């Protein structure tokens, strides 16, 4: 795709009323898109309703076509307007197929029997059903035979439920000689094998669809919606699913923190760039009328640009086939403002720190023992993702250069100064060995809570897989029992001057252990190989909360610190390396292990404590930084082919209005061979003054930041 300005008109419209889509005019729509400054659109071939918008011989045609061909006419109209046009195809979510072929239906393990994902209007068919697979393939073949799309997008290639249909049961039995387990148990190999099978099946289905497109049109990009990649395990897709996508893109409906996380995550995982951030112009997909404010829509567009990502806004067609034209006038203002930026977008993100996100850890040990017939598993909490999001929040607010990586990036761990393992609940031997090699080669590691305690197949050796790196080990007597500290609240007493200063005027951190799903702490052995930076303090009467009768408490409202146990909570371990450093680190590898998931807690003291620990690992200045307020996003992308850096600032307060910020200073360290030449503001073409510090960093000042500023720093290299 060439344009960063993308658009999708949702058309999930049935045909049981003749008025539906009666006013739809493909030419008028294409002209409207073009006038709005859009460069790339997606055309509905098959919606969740399952009625074809082209005169198919394979399935059922939408009644509104009446001799027309919406796909063909739209494609011709878009080509006439110079718009890039992708095909949209809804897989698995297909109401028409659900009606016509009851034997194709997904059989959800838990109620409701209908609409297990998104509600009772939606019919799901199973990708393991040979009949449905053949149908989908035949439709794709037909589409590619007749239409010259510029690319292909598949929506909904994930499991809306745990499917117990005969095809799924037979397949699991034949592949594993096991029956589908009745109970969730992340310590049982059979359950872990079933979940792995579901993920493998969905990747295989996604690849089947992608390869079908590639067989006819090897040159066009194909991608699957990446929206649920960070959802919990029940969707049944892992990161191998991205093998079916040339680049990553997906639709998201959360706030700024989600856009931060997902943009960095997709950038780190995608095979090619730009990645694509999709979102509705309305508050949510379920809302047809209520629009986001202009400034929020604009902010989401600029946020995408700041990551070098494309933006695709989604609007939903009125049932009659018209749209709210006023919305397009508003969108035009935003799309037009992106045009001057486009030549300067893209590049390699400058990242010192990597937040590690694990697909195997999008689950919760508190689910163990729950029946698969129980509803609610679909929306289970994910402590690992809470911790990862917390790390992202803290790093962004501190303007530290960071990225989000996955197991597919293990080979390039050495390019990071620090790697963060945020309560990684399940790891495999390959991951553990890669982390070990990274640290013993001079890398710096922060790991928290249950990281490396449980293997992906459910095995719990009763010790950290990375105990030799952490310099400490779990003291849990029962192998894998990490919940025996679960009581009301525990305290972390800092033992290091920097950490003590970080939380002042507090003298310690409180860590709430009151729930299965919330923050927690792993009990550690008293003996450690590393230096103890923080110890455990427990309240009076702990772990009981006390009552009016037993008087086993010290203060009636709260449970203040009482007993300094000297038990380690934070351990710093220096590992002498045989060959010196790598990955920007010199000398020794170093790990800080925190038994508590400090980064999970959204509180200033936890944040400063966490950042102080990272500061110990970073050793010196990060590659870039700014004194801008925490809600400003600073991003830097390196474009070595053009010998320049794209430096962006986004004013991203949590509430409207966006108030201008004056006098932001920032710095960026260039590699020694690069000589900075000119710093230019793209929007105004203004040349900004800069100086070079003794340490070789470019230092400059942005006099005023309204919503977004993109600066270009050109450099030359020594001959
Ligand atoms: Zn099935």
For residue 553, is it left (φ>0), alpha (ψ between -120 and 50) or beta? beta
pLDDT-derived band of residue 546, with 50, 70 and 90 as boundaries?
confident
Using the mean position of ligand 1's atoms as its centre, give its distance from the Cα of residue 139 in Å: 20
Residue 174 has pLDDT above 80, yes or no: yes
| Biggest CA pair distance of the chain | 82
Q: How many CB atoms lie within 10 A of CB 447?
A: 24
Question: Euclidean distance between the first and final Cα of the chain, in Å?
Answer: 35
Using the mean position of ligand 1's atoms as its centre, give its distance from the Cα of residue 161 in Å: 9
Q: Dihedral sign, CA of 156, 182, 453, 593?
A: positive
**The pLDDT value given to residue 634:** 98
Using the mean position of ligand 1's atoms as its centre, give its distance from the Cα of residue 102 in Å: 12
**The pLDDT value given to residue 461:** 85
**The pLDDT value given to residue 578:** 57
Using the mean position of ligand 1's atoms as its centre, give its distance from the Cα of residue 98 in Å: 13
Using the mean position of ligand 1's atoms as its centre, give its distance from the Cα of residue 74 in Å: 35
| Interatomic CA distance for residues 181 and 198, integer angstroms | 12
Q: Where are the beta strands (DSSP E) in 91-182?
A: 151-155
Using the mean position of ligand 1's atoms as its centre, give its distance from the Cα of residue 448 in Å: 37
Using the mean position of ligand 1's atoms as its centre, give its distance from the Cα of residue 174 in Å: 14
Using the mean position of ligand 1's atoms as its centre, give its distance from the Cα of residue 278 in Å: 29
Residue 183 has pLDDT above 80, yes or no: yes
pLDDT in tens, 52-85: 999 999 999 999 999 999 999 999 999 999 999 9
Beta-carbon contacts of 279 under 8 Å, excluding residues fewer than 6 positions away, are 251, 252, 253, 300, 311, 312, 313, 314
pLDDT-derived band of residue 545, with 50, 70 and 90 as boundaries?
confident
Using the mean position of ligand 1's atoms as its centre, give its distance from the Cα of residue 127 in Å: 7
Using the mean position of ligand 1's atoms as its centre, give its distance from the Cα of residue 125 in Å: 8
CB 241 within 8 A of CB 224: yes
| Interatomic CA distance for residues 674 and 691, integer angstroms | 14
* Residue 217 burial class via C-beta count within 10 angstroms: exposed 0-12, middle 13-18, buried 19 and up: middle
Using the mean position of ligand 1's atoms as its centre, give its distance from the Cα of residue 462 in Å: 36
**The pLDDT value given to residue 376:** 87
Using the mean position of ligand 1's atoms as its centre, give its distance from the Cα of residue 136 in Å: 15
pLDDT in tens, 480-503: 344 545 557 899 999 999 999 999
Q: How far is CA 247 from CA 40, 338, 691, in A?
A: 15, 21, 38
Q: Dihedral sign, CA of 227, 229, 231, 237?
A: positive
| Interatomic CA distance for residues 113 and 687, integer angstroms | 63
CB 684 within 8 A of CB 647: no
| Interatomic CA distance for residues 476 and 236, integer angstroms | 31
Using the mean position of ligand 1's atoms as its centre, give its distance from the Cα of residue 17 in Å: 32
| Interatomic CA distance for residues 420 and 297, integer angstroms | 32
Using the mean position of ligand 1's atoms as its centre, give its distance from the Cα of residue 292 in Å: 38
Using the mean position of ligand 1's atoms as its centre, give its distance from the Cα of residue 702 in Å: 57
Cis amide linkage into residue 506, ω under 30° from 0:
no
| Interatomic CA distance for residues 562 and 567, integer angstroms | 14
Using the mean position of ligand 1's atoms as its centre, give its distance from the Cα of residue 426 in Å: 26
Residue 114 has pLDDT above 90, yes or no: no
Residue 580 has pLDDT above 60, yes or no: no
CB 598 within 8 A of CB 509: yes
Using the mean position of ligand 1's atoms as its centre, give its distance from the Cα of residue 360 in Å: 22
| Interatomic CA distance for residues 343 and 491, integer angstroms | 52
Using the mean position of ligand 1's atoms as its centre, give its distance from the Cα of residue 138 in Å: 20
Percent of the chain with pLDDT over 90: 87
Using the mean position of ligand 1's atoms as its centre, give its distance from the Cα of residue 170 in Å: 9
Question: What's the token pair of residue 228?
Answer: 């649920």
Using the mean position of ligand 1's atoms as its centre, give its distance from the Cα of residue 130 in Å: 10
CB 599 within 8 A of CB 606: yes
CB 645 within 8 A of CB 715: yes
Using the mean position of ligand 1's atoms as its centre, give its distance from the Cα of residue 380 in Å: 22
Q: Look at residues 196, 89, 98 and name the one whose alpha carbon lies nearest to residue 140.
A: 89
Q: How many CB atoms lie within 10 A of CB 695?
A: 10
Using the mean position of ligand 1's atoms as its centre, give its distance from the Cα of residue 129 in Å: 7
DSSP 160-176: SS-B-SHHHHHHHHHHH
Using the mean position of ligand 1's atoms as its centre, give its distance from the Cα of residue 371 in Å: 18
Residue 638 has pLDDT above 60, yes or no: yes
Using the mean position of ligand 1's atoms as its centre, give its distance from the Cα of residue 372 in Å: 14
Using the mean position of ligand 1's atoms as its centre, give its distance from the Cα of residue 105 in Å: 7
Using the mean position of ligand 1's atoms as its centre, give its distance from the Cα of residue 200 in Å: 13
Q: Dihedral sign, CA of 550, 554, 558, 562?
A: negative
Residue 428 has pLDDT above 90, yes or no: yes
Using the mean position of ligand 1's atoms as its centre, give its distance from the Cα of residue 205 in Å: 12
Question: What's the token pair of residue 641?
Answer: 């082919």
**The pLDDT value given to residue 654:** 92
CA atoms within a 13 Å half-sphere pointing along the CA-CB vector of 321: 18
Using the mean position of ligand 1's atoms as its centre, give its distance from the Cα of residue 115 in Å: 15
Using the mean position of ligand 1's atoms as its centre, give its distance from the Cα of residue 487 in Å: 41
pLDDT in tens, 17-49: 999 999 999 999 999 999 999 999 999 999 999
């Amino acid at each position: 795709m060439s344009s960063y300005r993308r658009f999708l008109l949702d058309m999930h419209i049935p045909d049981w009323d003749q008025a539906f889509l009666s006013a739809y005019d493909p030419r008028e729509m294409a002209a409207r898109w073009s006038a709005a400054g859009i460069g790339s659109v997606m055309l509905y071939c098959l919606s969740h309703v399952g009625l074809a918008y082209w005169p198919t011989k394979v399935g059922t045609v939408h009644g509104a076509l009446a001799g027309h061909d919406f796909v063909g006419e739209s494609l011709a109209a878009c080509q006439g307007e110079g718009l890039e046009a992708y095909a949209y195809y809804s897989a698995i979510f297909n109401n028409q197929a659900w009606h016509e072929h009851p034997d194709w239906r997904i059989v959800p393990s838990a109620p409701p029997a209908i609409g297990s994902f998104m509600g009772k209007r939606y019919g799901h068919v199973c990708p393991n059903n040979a009949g449905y697979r053949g149908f989908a393939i035949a439709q794709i073949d037909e589409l590619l035979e007749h239409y010259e799309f510029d690319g292909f997008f598949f929506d909904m290639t994930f499991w809306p439920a745990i499917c117990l249909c005969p095809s799924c049961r037979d397949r699991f039995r034949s592949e594993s000689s096991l029956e589908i387990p009745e109970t969730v148990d992340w310590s049982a190999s059979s359950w872990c094998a079933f979940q792995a099978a579901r993920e493998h099946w969905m990747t295989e289905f996604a690849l089947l669809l992608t390869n079908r497109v590639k067989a006819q049109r090897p040159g066009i990009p194909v991608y699957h919606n990446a929206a649920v990649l960070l959802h919990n395990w029940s969707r049944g897709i892992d990161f191998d699913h991205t093998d079916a996508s040339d680049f990553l893109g997906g639709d998201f409906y959360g706030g700024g923190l989600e856009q931060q996380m997902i943009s960095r995550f997709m950038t780190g995982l995608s095979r090619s760039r730009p990645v694509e951030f999709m979102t509705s112009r309305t508050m949510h997909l379920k809302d047809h009328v209520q629009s986001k404010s202009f400034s929020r829509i604009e902010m989401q567009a600029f946020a995408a640009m700041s990551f070098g990502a494309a933006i695709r806004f989604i609007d939903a067609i009125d049932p009659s086939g018209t749209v709210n034209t006023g919305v397009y006038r508003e969108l035009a203002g935003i799309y037009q403002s992106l045009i001057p930026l486009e030549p300067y977008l893209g590049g390699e993100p400058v990242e010192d720190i990597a937040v590690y996100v694990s697909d195997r850890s999008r689950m919760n040990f508190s689910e163990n023992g729950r029946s698969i017939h129980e509803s609610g598993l679909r929306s289970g909490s994910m402590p690992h993702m809470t911790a990862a999001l917390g790390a992202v929040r803290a790093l962004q607010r501190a303007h530290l250069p960071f990225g989000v990586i996955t197991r597919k990036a293990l080979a390039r761990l050495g390019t990071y100064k620090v790697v963060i393992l945020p309560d990684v609940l399940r790891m495999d031997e390959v991951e553990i060995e890669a982390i070990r090699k990274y640290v013993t080669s001079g890398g710096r590691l922060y790991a928290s809570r249950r990281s490396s305690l449980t293997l992906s197949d459910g095995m719990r050796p009763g010790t950290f897989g990375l105990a030799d790196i952490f310099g400490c080990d779990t003291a849990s007597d029962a192998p894998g029992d990490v919940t025996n500290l679960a009581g009301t609240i525990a305290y972390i007493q800092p033992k290091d001057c920097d950490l003590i200063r970080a939380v002042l005027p507090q003298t310690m951190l409180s860590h709430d252990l009151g729930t299965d799903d919330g923050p927690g702490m792993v009990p550690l052995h008293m003996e450690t190989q590393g230096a103890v930076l923080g110890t455990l303090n427990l309240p009076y009467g702990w772990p009981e909360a006390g009552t009016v009768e037993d008087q086993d408490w010290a203060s009636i409202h709260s449970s203040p610190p009482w007993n300094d146990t000297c038990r380690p909570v934070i351990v710093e371990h220096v590992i002498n390396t045989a060959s010196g450093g790598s990955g920007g680190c010199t000398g020794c590898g170093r790990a800080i292990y925190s038994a508590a998931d400090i980064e999970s807690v959204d509180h200033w003291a936890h944040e400063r404590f966490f950042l102080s620990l990272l500061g110990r690992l970073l050793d010196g200045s990060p590659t870039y930084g700014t004194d801008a307020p925490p809600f400003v996003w600073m991003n830097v992308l390196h474009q070595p082919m053009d010998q320049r850096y794209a430096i962006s600032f986004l004013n991203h307060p949590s509430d409207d209005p966006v108030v201008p910020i004056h006098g932001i200073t920032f710095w960026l360290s260039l590699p020694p061979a690069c000589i900075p030449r000119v710093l230019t503001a793209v929007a105004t073409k203004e040349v900004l003054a800069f100086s070079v510090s003794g340490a070789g960093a470019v230092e400059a000042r942005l006099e005023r930041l309204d919503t977004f500023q993109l600066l270009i720093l050109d450099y030359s290299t020594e001959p």
